Structure 1
């Protein structure tokens, strides 16, 4: 996992395995070890008024509630109670920490071995497909729970039990200290929102990011949903995000450079009739027996090296933001990433497998 370099900058130097610095966050999961990690939102004027006027943006952002960090919030997530997992459920290595201190600090998955490809046609592929099918079904379960008045923590509780009853482990739980079994990102939250007791409101948009660990493999998927009556901008943002994901998937296949995914998504986004931007701080990732590993999948135009080969399994998960500002800041909890100006964000994600002849979407 990447860590922050520097304390007060909004542009972070993150290092690849070859130590070449880039200005992307990768698929970062931050630890709130000091208050410097959580940056203050400089542009947001209020949270409760529904016609929110934002600085530095000429467009109408729409009608919705902006989620903000508590003014005197607690640093980190050690105070958040985790749900129990029965002893018979097989856990990923990072969830087998020997001590509570290890659990709170989180175990990393570096160093990686090999290039991340699985053996096609064997037990690895079968296990991977089972995990992805369960992730898909869990996301479907989440979609059935959405209603005005339900809390994201209530959704997390139901999904936690659903995953366990299917013999799997909820991958986010305990991953580098994350305290819940899924991520729930509402309105201006880009990624890694922590389920809590806030009730979903009419007009909200909410992303459920689901990952499960089954038979030694992770399956990962997410989608953004409408809560009640969502305005035109919110509805269009969700649809554009789904289509951007599909644009990235369509170019995949053996021998194709990974950078073509970002090029395809960028091309699609730039053709839209209203201003939207691509989050450049969060990326897709290789997945399989390890939750996050190379290849890292950038969703914007880039010159990253690497070519897709049969057996490569990875996620594509673009997060789009209303307006031209694509940066995010992290709450004091060390996880919740909000748009810098309070505009809404939506994300969609699939796990894909490169085959001998093309690409297979495992979570569709």
Structure 2
């Protein structure tokens, strides 16, 4: 069942979302060759504490970190590590903050120094996919309008759209209804209504959209070892159109 949120509840969710946004704003200029994803993880957790929030995913189903750190061919759910990021890497940092019982979720891909033209294009197109999906997130549209805009743009650019990892509703729980892939047909799927709050989080790949899970049970990589990027916002459906609660 999809839980519609009141305006007051959306504002409460926005507060947790803005903690996540502040984490991303803070880390962006610090992501340079030599930094480790464990350092990034520590910074996120310290910032959340500063704002009275906690990292929701730490302890979630046994996960041990405040962030997921996913470099290069890792699509999602990568573990932070002490391996320094190097020139030419790309890395996606994903986190969920809990504040006063409400959750905010956002992932962002970052370039580490000078990156290849292919990586640069992948990141640009992935962000465009997010923006195009958000444009369709309006009352009266359907989830298929959102996902089709994402799929069409990515595939026209020669990229893949991950199917096996899903976007989701969010509020007091991390994975509320609806859950959905970022592919679909216009006019199909769940009807979008005022008060819905969910993530839009396209995971776009340089090559195949197929993935493999590492032996740790979490880390999802591209099957062909090629690059992946992701941008994610938590959004609310309102009468005035989509509101980006995790806007930076």
TM-score range, shorter chain: over 0.9
Q: Secondary structure at 1:183's aligned position in 2?
A: strand
Q: Which runs of 5+ in 2 are unaligned?
A: none
**Kept after mapping to 1: 8 A contact 2:10/2:236:** no
Structure 1 ranges of 4+ moved more than 4 A = none
Partner of 2:4: 117
Alpha-carbon distance in structure 1 between the residues aligned to 2:32 and 2:240: 41
CA shift, 1:301, in A, is 2.1
TM-score, normalised by the number of residues in structure 2: 0.96
Corresponding residue for 1:322? 206
Is 1:256 matched with 2:141? yes
| Aligned-CA RMSD value | 1.3
Q: 1:279-303 CA deviation, whole Å, 9 max, x = no partner?
A: 1111210001111111113211258
SS across alignment from 1:343: coil
In 2, the alpha carbon distance for the partners of 1:326 and 1:271 equals 14
Which ranges of structure 1 fall in alignment gaps of 5 or more residues? Answer: 1-113
The structure richer in strand per residue is 2
CA distance in 1 between counterparts of 2:245 and 2:173 reads 16
Render the CA deviation track for 1:81-108: whole Å, top value 9, x for unaligned.
xxxxxxxxxxxxxxxxxxxxxxxxxxxx
CA contact (8 A) 1:139 1:210 kept: no
**Which among 33, 43, 54 is matched to residue 158 of structure 1?**
43
1:149 aligns with 2:149: no
Q: Which has the larger radius of gyration?
A: 1
The match for 1:360 among 225, 243, 246 is 243
User: For 1:150 and 1:269, how far apart are their aligned partners in 2?
Assistant: 30
- Residue 87 of structure 2 is aligned to residue 202 of structure 1: yes
Deviations 1:198-245 (A, max 9, x none): 110110000111210011110111110100110100011000000000
Partner of 1:177: 62
Output the CA distance in 2 between the equivalents of 1:290 and 1:142: 26
Q: TM-score, normalised by structure 1?
A: 0.66
2:73 touches 2:221 (CA, 8 Å); kept in 1? yes
Residue pair 1:297, 1:316 contacting (<8 A) in 2 also? no
Residue 12 (structure 1) aligns with? none
